[in-house]
């Protein structure tokens, strides 16, 4: 596995690969602190592409001023070991100055409206940062496919729309949520949780599961599905450090609230456990 630090090296490698013929490149963008959720994206990339690149970049522009950029987990050695063991060809790990040589860019990508919904509502500017860095990575690597996790459902909607509107040639592939045995969606931020908080964090997956089960029984009304998830949260002993950010039933592509679920509708929750913000969701069948 090669570790590349500059856009020029990444571009040269990708173009040489393409010139070989019969090759396809899959890119898995990540912020590192890799876990089994990231590994599932790498495996999906390996299954459908001849070569796989993983980017490791904690993108400062998608963090708000009061967010966890400085303390976000960084685990370069462990990430290299995981990527190598999963058969990754190239790990692209640029320093911040490589992607933002002049500090914050006057040029950015913003997917209007979508970027202000769900997580974008409580994290102003977050999806502008995400769309911009993903666009930079796709332009630099020119992958045939890029792999994203359904865990970040709003990010999926933003990235899909950005790639579509900018006529990017990369196909956006979305992989299902990987969970711990007890249901908690894997996240690099789970590392912040104390044992007690981790137990509380399970409320998110329980709430999503409850709504999913109700929908499977035929309940289609947003009000009822959302109330059922609120019920799951309300049944938790009320800890002051545990609060709901949103519980929403939305169109998975536009992220606009809907009154009635249809197959493909997104049910999404976000909550704060102490200072850690967690998300979970399900696409209703």
Q: State the binding string over 41-60 for ligand AMP (x if CB under 6 A, else -).
A: x-------------------
Q: 169, 167, 166, 203: which is closest to 183 by C-alpha?
A: 203
- What CA–CA distance (Å, rounded) separates 190 from 255? 25
Which of residues 215 and 278 has its CB atom nearest to ligand AMP in the complex?
278
Catalytic residues: 38
Strands (E) across 31-162 are located at 51-56, 90-92, 145-149
User: Smallest distance from the beta carbon of 38 to ligand AMP, in angstroms?
Assistant: 5
Stretch of 29-37, 117-125, 220-228, 229-237 lying at the interface with ligand AMP (CB under 6 A): 29-37
Selected from 188, 190, 200, 228, the binder of ligand AMP by CB under 6 A is 188
- What CA–CA distance (Å, rounded) separates 239 from 255? 30
Return all residues near 237 (Cβ < 8 A) that are at least 6 apart.
none
Eight-state DSSP code of residue 274: T
Enumerate residues 140-179 that contact ligand AMP by CB under 6 A. Answer: 148-149, 151-152, 175, 177-178
According to the binding rule CB under 6 A, does residue 270 interact with ligand AMP?
no
According to the binding rule CB under 6 A, does residue 137 interact with ligand AMP?
no
User: Smallest distance from the beta carbon of 15 to ligand AMP, in angstroms?
Assistant: 25
According to the binding rule CB under 6 A, does residue 252 interact with ligand AMP?
no
Q: 101, 82, 30: which is closest to 59 by C-alpha?
A: 30
Size of the site for ligand AMP (CB under 6 A): 17
With both helix axes pointing from N to C terminus, report the angle between 126-141 and 7-20 in degrees, rounded to the nearest 10: 50
């Amino acid at each position: 596995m090669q570790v590349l630090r500059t856009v020029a090296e990444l571009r040269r490698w990708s173009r040489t690969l393409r010139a070989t013929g019969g090759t396809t490149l899959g890119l898995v963008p990540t912020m590192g602190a890799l876990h089994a959720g990231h590994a599932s994206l790498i495996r999906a990339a390996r299954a459908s592409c001849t070569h796989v690149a993983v980017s490791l970049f904690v993108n400062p522009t998608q963090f708000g001023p009061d967010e966890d950029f400085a303390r976000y987990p960084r685990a370069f050695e462990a990430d290299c070991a995981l990527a190598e063991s999963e058969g990754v060809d190239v790990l692209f790990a640029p320093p911040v100055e490589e992607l933002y040589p002049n500090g914050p860019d006057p040029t950015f990508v913003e997917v209007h409206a979508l970027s202000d919904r769900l997580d974008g509502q409580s994290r102003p500017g977050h999806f502008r940062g995400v769309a911009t860095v993903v666009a930079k990575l796709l332009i630099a690597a020119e992958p045939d496919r890029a792999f994203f996790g359904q865990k970040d459902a709003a990010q999926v909607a933003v990235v899909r729309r950005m790639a579509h509107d900018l006529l990017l040639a990369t196909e956006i592939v979305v992989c299902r949520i990987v969970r711990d045995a007890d249901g908690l969606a894997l996240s690099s931020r789970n590392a912040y949780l104390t044992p007690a908080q981790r137990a509380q964090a399970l409320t998110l997956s329980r709430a999503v599961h409850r709504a999913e089960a109700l929908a499977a029984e035929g309940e289609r009304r947003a009000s009822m599905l959302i109330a059922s998830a609120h019920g799951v949260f309300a049944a938790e002993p009320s800890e002051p450090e545990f609060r709901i950010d949103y519980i929403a039933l939305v169109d998975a592509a536009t992220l606009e609230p809907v009154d009635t679920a249809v197959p493909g509708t997104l049910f999404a929750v976000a909550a704060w456990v102490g200072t850690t913000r967690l998300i979970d969701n399900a696409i209703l069948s």
